[in-house]
Structure 1
């Protein structure tokens, strides 16, 4: 189905890039939405929107930083090879 079928490294790289982008965008939108709803509820336009937008952006960059650190550790062989090893055994 995919042209990358035999190349696991290319799929991993593509998945990591998508994850990093999703972290940044989703955190920003969640922060903005929280601020918008608080402003609407409390009538404090635009203060909570700006504050929570900044919180969302900061959280997004922190998530991106953490994800990049996880990828670097995985490439260096320091951490677990996949997330399944971190799950508790039944």
Structure 2
């Protein structure tokens, strides 16, 4: 159904990349939280490792978001170059 609505392949790829951005941030945060929680239980260091790995997970999530945004910007710039400039019609 959506394939018929969006015929341009580059637009579909940009939408797919943009949808991954939020998922990257949330998943990295939860992975850091889980690792910290598990290490705290194992080493009995509550709550220090949980907090440390939570912060590391958030930082990794933002790093992944920045990488995805740069990819989207690069793809958009190359798409505009292929079209010959601005997306606006005169």
Scaled by the length of structure 2, the TM-score of the pair is 0.74
Question: For each residue in 1:38-81, what CA deviation from the matched residue of structure 2 results, as whole angstroms up to 9, or x when unmatched?
Answer: 0010011111010000000000001101111111112222xxxx
User: Structure 2: 5+ residue runs without aligned partners?
Assistant: 79-90
Cα distance, 1:24 vs. partner? 0.4
Aligned residues: 77
- Structure 1 segments, 4+ long, off by >3 Å, are 7-10
- How large is the RMSD of aligned CA atoms in angstroms? 1.7
Scaled by the length of structure 1, the TM-score of the pair is 0.74
Higher normalized contact order (CA 8 Å, seq sep 6+, divided by chain length) = 2
Rg (Cα) greater in structure: 2
Greater helix share, structure number: 2
